[in-house]
Structures are given as structure tokens and as C-alpha cells.
Amino acid sequence: MTGMRMGGWLSGAPGRNEESSLCRRPYLDREWKVLMEQLADRVKKLGLKRFQMAARQIAAGIQWLDPLMESYCALTCPSCEDFCCTGQNVFYNRADILYLIALNAALPPGQTRNTASSPCRYLGPRGCALPRVRRPYVCVWFLCEPQMLLFLKERASFQRKVVGVMQEIRASRLLIEAIYEKGYPDEPGSFLPPNTR
Ligand code: SF4
Ligand code: SF4
């Protein structure tokens, strides 16, 4: 898959610039269940309300982007010969999960794959089975090369609007991460009980 990301335009936000890569790996479903319970419990202890405004902003941004992405997919995906959803490196990350917990959305029943070589479990015969607001965010903001060419043909004012919405989503995701990490700065050592590893 040759694709481009909007990363260059979206970087440079003040403060934290990267989302945690914790959770970005294959999980067995029983491990995943423990992870969901643990993160939901921690969010609850920190106060769900502290996360909710940012989560709603993320969801609103993704809903706004949805028709644009759908229209690009309708134009490019049917003739694609390098289907991006078959990539092996697509995972939910921690920010995705914290966002879904804060949104009170149905949590994904599993990581995108149980093993490194499995296909994405959400890929169905008609594409992704998940609504865009519940997909890993990497699946939302990715524009492959043909889609980037379509984007570059849009009006400059519309391009700025899209980039602005993505920047807002990114800032809200980093805020969620920051709230969580302030409450749980020691996460790498205590993330999962040893008997689930
Ligand atoms: S978004 Fe569609 S056209 Fe682009 S790489 Fe993925 S499947 Fe192919
Ligand atoms: S979650 Fe959906 S969009 Fe993302 S890789 Fe899997 S099938 Fe594709």
C-alpha cells in the first residue's frame, strides 16, 4: 500500500505530540477483554466527565469527515489493487479505546487481529463493518495516494477546513491521553495483570 497521511499538516500542536503506542499490537480476545475492563475502570475512577467533552468533539469531527471519506472511497476503492485494509499494521491504540469508553460507545469485541498475520477482523465482504466513529483512528484519517489527489483538487478553503477538523480531533485525542496519563503515569508496568500476558 502506498499512501500518504495528513501527518505533516497535523503535527506541531503544542504540548504532547504523539499518542501512546501501548495496545498497538495483536491481542487474544481474553486479553482484550481484560484490557477493556481495566481501562474502563480507570476512566471511571478518574471521572468519565473529564473525558467526555473531548470524546464528543472527536466523534463530531469524524461524523463531519464521514461523507467526504465515503465519497472518496466510492471513487477509488472499487478499482483498487492494493487494498489498505489488508495491511498488517493497523491496530486500535490506547487513545482509540479511551475515546470510545468516554463516548459510552460499544467497545470493539477485539483488537483488529489476534495474531500478527491475521487479517483485520472487521473487514467484511463489503469493506469495513464498523461505523467510522468506531474504527481505529488511523483508518479514519488515512488518505491513500488516489484519495490525496482528489483532496488536492478541492477548493483551498475546503482543504483548510478539513485540515482544521483533523487538527481539532488530534488535539482532543491528545487531551484524552494527557488526562489519562496524569492519573496513571506508571502505566507501562501495570498495564495488564501478568497472568493475561
Ligand atoms: S482507501 Fe480504497 S483506494 Fe485507497 S488504498 Fe484503501 S482500498 Fe485502496
Ligand atoms: S478496522 Fe475497518 S477500516 Fe480499519 S483496517 Fe479493519 S476493516 Fe479496514
Contact between 54 and 101 under an 8 Å Cβ cutoff? The reply is no
* The C-alpha cell that represents 108 in the structure block: 470493539
pLDDT tops 90 at residue 145: yes
Choice between 1 and 22, residue whose per-residue pLDDT is larger = 22
Q: Identity (one letter) of the amino acid at 79?
A: S
Q: Can you tell me which atom of ligand 1 is nearest the CA of 80? A: 8
Cβ 136 under 6 angstroms from ligand 2 = yes
pLDDT tops 90 at residue 191: no
Query: What is the share, in percent, of the chain residues with pLDDT greater than 90?
Result: 75
Total count of domains within the chain? 1
Q: How high is the pLDDT of residue 189?
A: 43
Is position 94 within any domain? yes
Domain that holds residue 61: 23-189
pLDDT tops 60 at residue 157: yes
Residue 161 CA to residue 197 CA, distance in Å, equals 43
What confidence tier does 192 reach under pLDDT thresholds 50, 70, 90? low
Cβ 77 under 6 angstroms from ligand 2 = no
Is position 1 within any domain? no
Is position 105 within any domain? yes
CA of 85 to the centre of ligand 2 (A): 5
pTM of the entire predicted model: 0.88
What confidence tier does 14 reach under pLDDT thresholds 50, 70, 90? very low
pLDDT digits (tens, 9 = 90+) for 115-129: 999 999 999 988 899
Which residue matches cell numbers 498488517? 88
pLDDT digits (tens, 9 = 90+) for 79-106: 999 899 988 889 999 999 999 999 999 9
CA of 12 to the centre of ligand 2 (A): 27
Distances from the Cα of 151 to the Cα of 83, 157, 160, 189, angstroms: 19, 12, 11, 42
pLDDT digits (tens, 9 = 90+) for 53-89: 999 999 999 999 999 999 999 999 999 998 999 888 8
Is position 17 within any domain? no
Is position 166 within any domain? yes
Is position 10 within any domain? no
Is position 9 within any domain? no
Q: Can you tell me which atom of ligand 1 is nearest the CA of 1? A: 5
Is position 157 within any domain? yes
